[in-house]
């Protein structure tokens, strides 16, 4: 069987908080289940493959965001891959650039994004910095917690074609409206780093299941469950003081 290709896009531009770890987690979760998977790392100037099953964008500074949008539009292959049914998961700056527009700099210059998610981002009333705790609904209707940390000045507002990905218990998320992230078809974006998929294995498996088109066997990792339990407890204790 052809290996599942995970494509890590422009991490030298968009990967300031170790978001490349998301790619390692996804690949490992497949390999540990006996599913062959490859990781393709694409830097600006390289051609983005259109053969991938799951594409990843991470966080970054304003200037890097502008460069990334320009390169991705000029390359065009990410759009082809999504048309074929690939999944895109974007974190923070990556999330902002897949939207319709975002603003940068002291004069709030408006930059066109990739237009893959019906969201717009503009400078928020405060900088969102700290731990976030939210929950999202699995396809079977059950809830799963998301833990991570956020650090963004842009606030994101959803249009009618995008649905919120998670409901925030602690933290700011999209814009302080109680939501974080967005989903529209096969494109998902959210604010927290961590890397978020290392902290949240359910979310990692959800992305893989969407990309593969079938459910995966459980992958029990009790030590990870215990780390998550401790972190969530600590965030809930300290979150009240945020
Ligand atoms: N530059 C963006 C902002 O500040 C994204 C930051 C990030 O990716 N952490 O809103």
Contacts of 28 (CB under 8 A, 6+ apart): none
Contacts of 132 (CB under 8 A, 6+ apart): 146, 147, 148, 149, 150, 168, 170, 171, 172, 173, 180, 191, 192
Nearest atom, ligand 1, residue 193 CA: 9
Q: What is the pLDDT of residue 241?
A: 47
Q: Is 40 in the pocket of ligand 1 (CB under 6 A)?
A: no
Asked if residues 168 and 150 have their Cβ atoms less than 8 Å apart, the reply is: no
Q: Is 60 in the pocket of ligand 1 (CB under 6 A)?
A: yes
pLDDT truncated to tens, each residue of the chain (242 aa)?
A: 899 999 999 999 999 899 999 999 999 999 999 999 999 999 999 999 999 999 999 999 999 999 999 999 999 999 999 999 999 999 999 999 999 999 999 999 999 999 999 999 999 999 999 999 999 999 999 999 999 999 999 999 999 999 999 999 999 999 999 999 999 999 999 999 999 999 999 999 999 999 999 999 999 999 999 999 999 999 999 865 45
Distance 59 CA to ligand 1 centre (A): 6
Domain annotation for the chain: domains and CATH numbers:
4-123+154-164+174-220 (3.40.50.880)
Q: Which residues pair with 182 in a beta bridge?
A: 164, 189
Distance 220 CA to ligand 1 centre (A): 33
Q: What is the pLDDT of residue 131?
A: 95
Q: What is the pLDDT of residue 16?
A: 86
The pTM of this model reads 0.97
> Distance between CA 210 and CA 36 in Å, rounded?
17
Catalytic sites, residue numbers: 92, 193
* Nearest Cα residue to atom 3 of ligand 1: 152
Q: Is 62 in the pocket of ligand 1 (CB under 6 A)?
A: yes
Q: Is 152 in the pocket of ligand 1 (CB under 6 A)?
A: yes
* Nearest Cα residue to atom 6 of ligand 1: 152
Nearest atom, ligand 1, residue 91 CA: 8
Asked if residues 59 and 231 have their Cβ atoms less than 8 Å apart, the reply is: no
| ω into 195 cis (within 30 of 0) | yes
Distance 229 CA to ligand 1 centre (A): 28
Distance 154 CA to ligand 1 centre (A): 7
């Amino acid at each position: 069987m052809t290996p599942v290709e995970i494509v890590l896009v422009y991490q030298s531009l968009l990967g300031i908080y170790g978001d490349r770890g998301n790619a390692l987690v996804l690949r490992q979760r497949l390999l540990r289940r006996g599913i062959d998977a490859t990781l393709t790392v694409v830097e600006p100037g390289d051609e983005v493959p259109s053969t991938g099953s799951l594409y990843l964008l991470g966080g970054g500074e304003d200037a890097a965001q502008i460069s990334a949008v320009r390169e991705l539009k000029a390359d065009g292959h990410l759009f082809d891959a999504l048309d074929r049914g690939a999944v895109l998961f974007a974190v923070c700056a990556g999330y902002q650039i897949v939207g319709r527009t975002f603003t940068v700099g002291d004069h709030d210059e408006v930059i066109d994004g990739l237009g893959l998610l019906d969201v717009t981002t503009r400078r928020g009333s405060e900088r969102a910095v700290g731990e976030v705790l939210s929950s999202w609904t699995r396809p079977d209707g059950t809830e799963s917690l998301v833990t991570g940390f956020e650090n963004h000045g842009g606030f994101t507002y959803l249009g009618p074609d995008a649905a919120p990905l998670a409901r925030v218990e602690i933290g700011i998320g999209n814009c302080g409206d109680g939501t974080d992230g967005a989903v529209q078809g096969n494109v998902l974006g959210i604010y927290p780093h961590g890397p978020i998929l290392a902290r949240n294995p359910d979310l990692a498996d959800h992305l893989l299941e969407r990309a593969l088109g079938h459910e995966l066997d459980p992958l029990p990792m009790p030590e990870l469950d215990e780390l998550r339990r401790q972190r969530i407890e600590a965030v809930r204790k300290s979150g009240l003081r945020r």
